[in-house]
Structure 1
Amino acid sequence: MPTGRLHIATSRVRQETSVVKVLAAISYEPIPLFEIGPLSLSLHGLFAALGFLAGAVLMTREVRRRRFDDEAVQSILTWGLVAALLGARLFTVPAHITDPGYGLGDVLGLAGDFSILGGYAGGVIGGVLRMRMLDINVPVHLDMAAAGMAIGAVVGRIGDLALVEHLGSPTSFFLGYTVKPGYDLAPQHDALECTVESAVNGICGTFHPTALYDMLGAILLLGALIWLGRAWASRRYGQLFGVWALWYGLQRFLVDFTRLDAAEETGTSVIADSVIGPFTGSQWGALLAAGLGAGLIWWARARMQTVSPETDVTLGATPIAVDPAG
């Protein structure tokens, strides 16, 4: 971003937030690293890993409860993990492809941006490929992964909140995050930092914490999926995963409106996302996910059987042994 435009964008942020009356706001110093003895851990990477682990545990528990092949699922999760890492990086390429000096090393390296939507897409594609290779039922296993996908976002977003990443447009909303002088934000938000001398009323500005909004939505989604898994008596195989994709896609589409201005060059331009037409790249990806989810719900209703323990057995689950002696 040219220095002149950066100065204009930063000044605009200060002017906008100086005329906004902040009713209440969240504010804390970013925590980029967590030290355990001689070890320094990035909370972003740590909670991303914990999010995947939590999702894997939740899926494995459901697989065991319904008596499907546990070992096959561990192989599926391994493929999903590798594909998720690739997808999370590749989905960030459009936002950086025009950056000076950006090349193959930036795409393949461990440092840099990762996309949660890209991670989900890669993980699902990799997992489905492995299911096909193992000749196991795809809709059944996608359903058993749905709650795990939701809890992955809940846990993973904790790392984003610790680092203070993905801030959006200036706001007076009571959940806004207030940047104060001396705060060391994530590199993408360097333009939002300020000194004591340049602060307005003691603050640098208040901005939408999109990671927090996404985490709160994912908590609601997790609860809804667990409830639907138990109470939706007419549910067809594949529909629960369709609900996850539809809900999370619409959620991300709506949440990203709070950072659309922050992605545009004519706005504050302080987040790493491309703007294509009226929406961010993430919004287009979210709409695609929502559309695929809605399509899966409709397709499963017409083509798949109603979920039941008896049908599980015909689709690969181990029958419950019956004692002939009664």
Structure 2
Amino acid sequence: MILAFLETLKWGIDPVIFELGPLAPRWYGLLFAGAFVSGYMFGVRMWKDSGRKVEEMESVLTWILVATVIGARLGHVIFYDPSYYLRNLGEVLAIWKGGLASHGAAIGIIIAMYYLAKKHANMSFWWLADRVVIPTAVGGAFIRTGNFFNSEIYGHETDSVFGVIFTNLPGPMGMVPRHPTMLYEAVLCIAVFAVLWFIYKKYKAHPPEGSLFGTFLILLFTGRFFLEYTKIPQANFASDWMFNMGQLLSIPMVLIGIYIVVKMVDWRKPGPDASI
């Protein structure tokens, strides 16, 4: 019965939305853009809540966008397939061929936030980090949905009711139901956003500094660690390790998050810019 039900869950949509001469927009690109549109909307809301200028937020968002793309690409190159790119240095910049790593994006964003906090007056790293992770969580849901449209970052074979047959995959791979891991991660991002937004509203838009950032690291990367068990390994050289590359990169993120929320955050009072 379950297998008969799974036969109806087939996914093989064309990643290209339409073609008009040289113009061929893709679903992934549309959803990637949606991630930053949503980020802009939440950014405007949070900057206004803190009495800061929206123009400042727009500058911050631009830096975060650049850091996300560069960090995600270098993360893929360094963490997941370094030997290939050492042999093909010209491919490092070929983002249109795929290959973006969320852990690399996280590192890139953290570096950008450190720079931005130094650049802007009366802006601490922790204040900025708390306001970046909310749109980041929402954006992650958009991007992972884009991966679903591309039939990439899929999981192992499964006979569960959640299995999806990705008909775009080559040969026998596209004939069996697999975990739609990218959708699991999209749901995880939405859940993380819900928790962060609850904390943000609980403290009336002035959460204790570091609280959202630390909570984000714990929730997102703990979820990522366990979801990696459903995913096809992305780094071939780590296929026989106890933990795959995604899990190894998640562990330090979780530990940093725990340190922040336990040792650094004073949960008894709102952030220093609060007026309550």
Unaligned residue ranges in structure 2 (runs of 5+): none
Is residue 132 from structure 1 mapped to residue 93 from structure 2 by the alignment? no
Distance 1:274 1:289, change over 3 A: farther
2:24 maps to which residue?
40
2:49 maps to which residue?
65
Give 3-state SS (helix, strand or coil) of 1:178's partner. Answer: strand
Q: Give the 5 Å matches for 1:161-176.
A: 161-176=148-163
TM-score, normalised relative to structure 1: 0.74
Instruction: Give the superposition deviation at 1:238.
Output: 1.0
Question: Partner letter of residue 212 of structure 1?
Answer: L
Q: Aligned equivalents of 2:264 and 2:191: distance in 1?
A: 24
2:261 maps to which of 288, 297, 306: 297
Is residue 109 from structure 1 mapped to residue 94 from structure 2 by the alignment? yes
Instruction: Give the superposition deviation at 1:163.
Output: 1.5
Q: Give the 5 Å matches for 1:225-264.
A: 225-231=196-202, 236-259=208-231, 262-263=232-233
Instruction: Give the superposed CA RMSD.
Output: 2.7
Q: Aligned equivalents of 1:191 and 1:131: distance in 2?
A: 50
Give 3-state SS (helix, strand or coil) of 2:179's partner. Answer: strand
Q: Aligned equivalents of 1:273 and 1:223: distance in 2?
A: 34
Work out the number of aligned pairs and report it: 268
4+ runs deviating over 6 angstroms:
none
Give 3-state SS (helix, strand or coil) of 1:307's partner. Answer: coil
Question: Partner letter of residue 312 of structure 1?
Answer: D
Unaligned residue ranges in structure 1 (runs of 5+): 1-19, 195-203, 264-270, 314-318, 320-326
2:141 maps to which of 154, 165, 174: 154
Give 3-state SS (helix, strand or coil) of 1:41's partner. Answer: coil
2:33 maps to which residue?
49
- Point out the structure with the larger helix share: 2
Instruction: Give the superposition deviation at 1:21.
Output: 5.8
Q: Is the radius of gyration larger for structure 1 or structure 2?
A: 1
Question: Partner letter of residue 41 of structure 1?
Answer: P
Q: Aligned equivalents of 1:23 and 1:227: distance in 2?
A: 40
1:15 maps to which residue?
none
Question: Partner letter of residue 90 of structure 1?
Answer: L
Distance 1:192 1:65, change over 3 A: farther
Preserved contact between residue 237 and residue 306 of structure 1 (Cα < 8 Å): no
Distance 1:61 1:173, change over 3 A: same
Preserved contact between residue 213 and residue 255 of structure 1 (Cα < 8 Å): yes
Preserved contact between residue 113 and residue 128 of structure 2 (Cα < 8 Å): no
Distance 1:125 1:162, change over 3 A: same
Distance 1:285 1:24, change over 3 A: farther
Distance 1:191 1:300, change over 3 A: farther
Instruction: Give the superposition deviation at 1:216.
Output: 1.0
Preserved contact between residue 76 and residue 131 of structure 1 (Cα < 8 Å): no
Identity of aligned residues (%): 22
Preserved contact between residue 75 and residue 130 of structure 1 (Cα < 8 Å): no
CA displacement 1:196-222 (0-9 Å, x = unmatched): xxxxxxxx1111111010011111111
Instruction: Give the superposition deviation at 1:110.
Output: 2.4
Q: Aligned equivalents of 2:100 and 2:87: distance in 1?
A: 15
Question: Partner letter of residue 124 of structure 1?
Answer: I
2:3 maps to which residue?
22
1:199 maps to which residue?
none
Instruction: Give the superposition deviation at 1:121.
Output: 2.1
Instruction: Give the superposition deviation at 1:127.
Output: 2.4
1:121 maps to which of 83, 104, 107: 107
CA displacement 1:20-76 (0-9 Å, x = unmatched): 963643322232101175531122222122212312321221111221233222222
Distance 1:307 1:40, change over 3 A: same
Is residue 312 from structure 1 mapped to residue 273 from structure 2 by the alignment? yes
Instruction: Give the superposition deviation at 1:235.
Output: 5.0
Q: Which moved more, 1:51-60 or 1:242-251?
A: 51-60
Question: Partner letter of residue 247 of structure 1?
Answer: L
Preserved contact between residue 87 and residue 123 of structure 1 (Cα < 8 Å): yes
Give 3-state SS (helix, strand or coil) of 2:33's partner. Answer: helix
